[in-house]
Amino acid sequence: MTGDYRGYESDCDYFQKILSQPALAETRNLAALAQLVFRTPIAFLAMLDHAERMTARVGVGMEWWSVIEGFPLHRAFEDALIAPDAAQWLPEGNAGGLGFFVATPVRSCNGLPLGLLILADHAPRPGFSDADRQALRTLVHAFTANMELRALASHALEGERRLLETEKRFRAMANSAPVLIIYGGPDGAPMFVNNRWLEFTGRSMQEEMGDGWSDSIHPQHRQSVREGFGRAFEDRTPFTSEYPMLRKDGEYRWMRARGEPRCLENGTFMGYVGCLTDVTDYHDAVMEIERLKQLMAIPV
């Protein structure tokens, strides 16, 4: 990510877009596609509830459910039931007016049964080929992948929202701090500087992004500070440095910078948080002491 924390918001928008289409509409679309591909008057998805009972059904030909539920549908979860001639396939020789019947299991990627895709026709389909069976499997796999994507997007969206809320709280705390704070992401690019930083430099948030954060460092120190931070970033270690930084009134102030790697509870590296404190008075006092020591060391 680059720029400020709006990258998280765009991620949330992406996951929300995936979830924007209702699952029922996607299920209905699959049933309609199956009906179109295989030209069957009966095509619907029978979905399972948490107790693996077929409850929700979407598609066309629902009036035939009373006939279809009498078939040994439990066997379809082991392998697809395909009866090109349903009257001969059923032991009773009575398919209730259906000549062709297919029940294909719909499973999640980890094998969890989700339901059945059911196709049926009044006339037998002796020409139902291996290519047709493969097309049926491909259709179901596409639907399963879409459902898995929805599940992943749902989990990711929740995670991104929690992360976004954490970032908002961090910004609020940072903006109330009496020191300069900068926050860089896992790619090393700055994502945020607090209000005190902007007040000190007199620059905008946009100007401080990218390499802009170092523009206010005295030219004689700028390269060494960048290199020092670069080494700390690569090693994921704390970073400390002192250097003069240009204030908006044109005066250079000595700043003591300390950066700490920021990680989530699971150890995932999230970037650096840097804190800058004005130590000009202390620095000038030390320099004055050193000057007096040198004067006292000069023989009279």
Tell me 162's DSSP state: H
Note the maximum CA span of the chain: 125
Q: What is the pLDDT of residues 128-187, one digit of tens each?
A: 888 888 888 787 777 666 555 454 445 555 656 666 776 778 788 888 888 999 988 888
262 vs 266: CA distance, rounded Å:
12
Q: Read off the tokens for 145.
A: 């992948």
User: Do 6-156 and 177-297 come out as alike in CATH topology?
Assistant: yes
Helix, coil or strand: residue 263: strand
The residue ranges of DSSP E strands in the chain, in sequence order, are 42-48, 54-60, 81-83, 100-107, 113-121, 180-184, 190-193, 239-246, 252-263, 269-278
Size of the chain in residues? 300
pLDDT band (50, 70, 90) for residue 48: low
Share of the chain above pLDDT 70, in %: 74
Domain spanning 177-297 has what CATH number? Answer: 3.30.450.20
Higher pLDDT, 226 or 89: 226
Tell me 85's DSSP state: S
Q: Read off the tokens for 203.
A: 């620059």
**Which sequence spans correspond to the domains of the chain?**
6-156, 177-297
- Torsions phi, psi of 127, nearest 5? -90, 15
For domain 6-156, give its CATH number from 3.30.450.40, 3.30.70.20, 3.40.50.2300, 1.10.580.10.
Answer: 3.30.450.40
Q: What is the pLDDT of residues 11-27, one digit of tens each?
A: 545 444 433 444 456 66
The residue ranges of DSSP E strands in 81-216, in sequence order, are 81-83, 100-107, 113-121, 180-184, 190-193
289 vs 206: CA distance, rounded Å:
41
For the chain, the straight-line distance linking the first and the last C-alpha, in angstroms and rounded, comes to 63
94 vs 267: CA distance, rounded Å:
62
- How much is the CA Rg of the chain, to the nearest whole Å? 33
pTM of the model: 0.48
Helix, coil or strand: residue 115: strand
Position 28 pLDDT exceeds 50: yes
